[in-house]
Amino acid sequence: MMMDPRVLVLEDSRSDFELARRELVKAGLRDIEWARDRGSFIEALERAEPSIALLDHSLPDFDGISAMRLLRERFPDVPSIIVSGAIGEEIAIETMRAGATDYVLKDNIERLVPVTRRALHEAEQLRARKEVERELLESRKRYELLFSSINEGISMHELIHDADGVPVDYRTININPAYERMIDKPRGDVIGVTASAMFGRPLHLDRYVKVMETGESVSFEDTEIRPGKVLLISAFPFEPMRFATLAVDITYRKELETQLEERARELARSNEELQQFAYVASHDLQEPLRMVTGYMTLLQKRCDGQLDDQAKEYVRFAAEGAARARDLVKDLLEYSRVGSLQRPMSEANMEHLCDLACINLREQIREEGAAIERGPLPNLVVDEVQMVALLQNLISNAIKFHGPSPPRVDISCREDGGEWVFCVKDNGIGIEPSYQERIFQIFQRLHGVGEYPGTGIGLAICKRIVERHGGRIWVESSPGEGSSFFFTVLKSGRS
């Protein structure tokens, strides 16, 4: 809310003051203070800043012009009006020269109000203008502080056109200290210099012209502005025909990225080598193992009559050992194939793939009298052969590790956000919580081969298959109550 203007009246005559006051009150000005001499005038100034001063030209011990000087010393922007009994041309000139806003003759006191009003209005306008200027100065100071203390390099440029108005070059008009440091050149070597002079050609001109034409900023990486450094440059228009760039030194980040890429490539290479090795080793091991098994069988057949019971047992042990080694090698081969044999993914009906897995397991299902329940399953983009192997491994385990009651296996699937969550649930012996992670590692088994047959590779294969499809695999189980194996497949698929 605007305060009422405070009008300070210097007047030695009470009746003249009353006259002036009446006029002012009539015009709605209520806050009027009377000073009758020099002392009370100074006191009034000390109390508070007036909005305007109406000054009698001549008083016994004082005069209007001196009062005005006192006022202006203290409050330079407060307007003052000289009020006088009679005013000659000289006095009028003197008062205006001394800085009075206006003067009024006492005979013509009805002018007092409009003159006061106008002076107040002008003073208010002056005050508002000064406020705007002050704010402008402040914001300029803030901008300059930002410009000079910011860590990003800022540079400003002006487009240069040829006679046909085609942009052909640009010149630098300002840079901040950060940019100076970034390019390692003093301001003086850069300001006013054209890009062609600096780089031998108008570097990135096309991009900057586009920025000016579209009004949209662009970002790009540069290695020429400061040789040996990678700068991330964002360019944006800021005035007609002028654009600014913001530069961030990303050399270090780039080096890290390159190192990381290099490492990833190395890792992929060594991984591939390892897979190749596992594949070749397991593949080549099969041959000698086949020979051992073959000759053991031959030995059993040919020399059956000539061997005593102990020797027969030894031969049987050797044959079993060789058979087991063959199973291990076969599974190992399978395991190494998951990563190395990359078939393309295709859309498949998971119900169909699950039924295929059960057909492959029909012997086991029949022998164990297992009941298999399958809920509705979605169509997915997968490696079909691997999906059958995955389901087959999980269903086979669910049957194999059964408890006293006949095995029951439930296969189901639900949606969860961006993925499908499959579940193969059994009513078998269950798994101790402390083993629930370990079983997905290669060769990790919780039982002897005599108890439950197997190589301990099945779940490791499952994990590889699931991960190749961008999913996770885990088990939830309580010993004696059965297990639920879960795995996820990304809805969008992975190519």
CB of 267 to ligand ADP, least distance (A): 26
Residues 421-460 within binding reach of ligand ADP (CB under 6 A)? 426, 428-429, 431, 439, 444-447, 454-460
Closer Cβ to ligand ADP, 116 or 455, answer by number: 455
CA quadruple 446, 451, 456, 461: dihedral positive or negative? negative
Closer Cβ to ligand ADP, 447 or 472, answer by number: 447
- Nearest residue to 225 via CA among 166, 168, 279, 184: 184
CB of 417 to ligand ADP, least distance (A): 26
CB of 219 to ligand ADP, least distance (A): 50
CB of 387 to ligand ADP, least distance (A): 16
Closer Cβ to ligand ADP, 51 or 455, answer by number: 455
Closer Cβ to ligand ADP, 168 or 421, answer by number: 421
Closer Cβ to ligand ADP, 114 or 433, answer by number: 433
Closer Cβ to ligand ADP, 350 or 431, answer by number: 431
Q: In the complex, which residue's CB is closest to ligand ADP?
A: 454
CB of 297 to ligand ADP, least distance (A): 24
Residues 9-68 within binding reach of ligand ADP (CB under 6 A)? none
CB of 462 to ligand ADP, least distance (A): 7
Q: The sheet that has 419-426: what strands, in order across it?
A: 371-374, 408-416, 419-426, 482-490, 473-478
Closer Cβ to ligand ADP, 113 or 460, answer by number: 460
Closer Cβ to ligand ADP, 386 or 393, answer by number: 393
CB of 400 to ligand ADP, least distance (A): 6
CB of 457 to ligand ADP, least distance (A): 6
109, 20 contact by CB (below 8 A): yes
For the window 109-138, what string marks contact with ligand ADP as x by the rule CB under 6 A? ------------------------------
* Interface region with ligand ADP, contact rule CB under 6 A, candidates 57-65, 117-125, 236-244, 390-398: 390-398
Q: Which amino acid is at 422?
A: F
Residues 103, 279, 401, 420: which binds ligand ADP (CB under 6 A)? 401
Which residues contribute to the site for ligand ADP (CB under 6 A)? 393, 397-398, 401, 426, 428-429, 431, 439, 444-447, 454-460, 483
